[in-house]
Amino acid sequence: MAAYSHIALPILILIFFSLFTFSQSQKPCGISVYWGQNVNEGTLRDSCNSSSYKYVNIAFLSTFGSGRIPVLNLAGHCDPLSGTCTGLSSEIEFCQNQGIQVMLSLGGSIGNYALSSPEDAKEVANYLWNTFLGGTDPGYVRPLGPTPLSGVDDFDIEVPGTFLYWDDLARALSSYSTRRERSTYLWPQSYDYTSGVSMVLAVWRWWNSRIDIPASSQIFLGLPASPSAGGGYIPSDVVVNQILPVIRSSPNYGGVMLWNKYWDQGYSSAIYSAVCNGTDAERRPEELFISQVGIIGKKFCCCCLKQEGTYQQDSNDVCGFQDNSFLHTNPPTCTGLWLALEEATISNGCLWAIPGSHKEGFCSNWNKSWLLGCHSRGFDSSEDEKKGGA
């Protein structure tokens, strides 16, 4: 993928208009990744199921414009011409239901594309709207199935002599959005033409100094996910310790973009907690639990069932304990909820609690010795009954 410094285009070439909206006080932050250029990278659902990405860019629509018949190149994942890519519709929907935006990337280093005029740009925009986005014109075949993509992520224009009218295409695409707020994401590549921390930071400062970038836009740091993914590879520990602490304070900072899913063999996991400055404001509850206890890779839902009659006042079947002994995280970001699925009484095993105990702090943590018995502070049910069990 060529360097953006080789492309003398208006900033609008990188516009992404979203079918979703976000308040400007709560800008999303996360990792974006390209998917679709290696059949061995796993499915789209796998990418969204990894809990690593907030944006997935389907790459590439490699042929279009100037009367060309558009071609979607997904490198063996499926064949759009034979209709085998329509199955991606359910995977796109799955990703979007996880809060992940799935977008279409245009261009690429190997392609046949160009825009011949502003009118041609409008025709391409109409094609994109009705083929991949929210359009409903029955005259267009939707190669990815009926689920609309979240937007068009960028124009990865790398073929020489094709640098005109992309701003017209961006404006034409933007005109289709009826939302009051549009999200504009920019992910310039900090690789192939850069080497070292100082150069990456210099490129970052240049992008953030441009006065033609809207204040609401977000800029992502573009990185190769492995030495084989592109020139200028930077080890994850260097990114975490020397680059992200500098760029996170930028007003337009949005996160990190990785090329690509196939080469991401743990790179995103290594930088994940540092991308958004260690904050969890944009992460789903199951991601919080996974990251804090160190379980990586799968969605996780923890459900503890207390069966009827397991507590008896004259036995020690279930001793007193704190939920935090099992749900402990540092910082304390995990919340446990006990919900009665049917009427709960003392006779059938209701949940008891010591009033005010939530103010007494963390008493003990779970460890393997608990397998030999309960080790917690005393729990006097008779005393609690006098105070009022819950």
Asked if 374 and 342 count as a contact pair (C-beta separation under 8 A), the reply is: no
- Angle of helix 118-131 relative to helix 166-175, nearest 10 degrees, comes to 40
Rounded to whole angstroms, how far apart are CA atoms 40 and 16?
28
- DSSP state, residue 185: E
Cis amide linkage into residue 57, ω under 30° from 0: no
Chain Cα centroid distance, residue 40: 21
Neighbours of 141 (CB within 10 A): 10
Q: Which residues are bridge partners to 59 per DSSP?
A: 105
SS3 61: strand
Q: Which of left, alpha, beta for 309 (phi over 0: left; psi -120 to 50: alpha)? A: left
Per the residue annotation, which of 41, 91, 158, 287 is the catalytic one? 158
Check if 342 is active-site: no
CA dihedral sign, ordered 166, 167, 171, 174: positive
Find all residues with CB under 8 Å of 182, minimum gap 6, and list them.
15, 17, 18, 174
**Which active-site residues does the annotation give?**
158
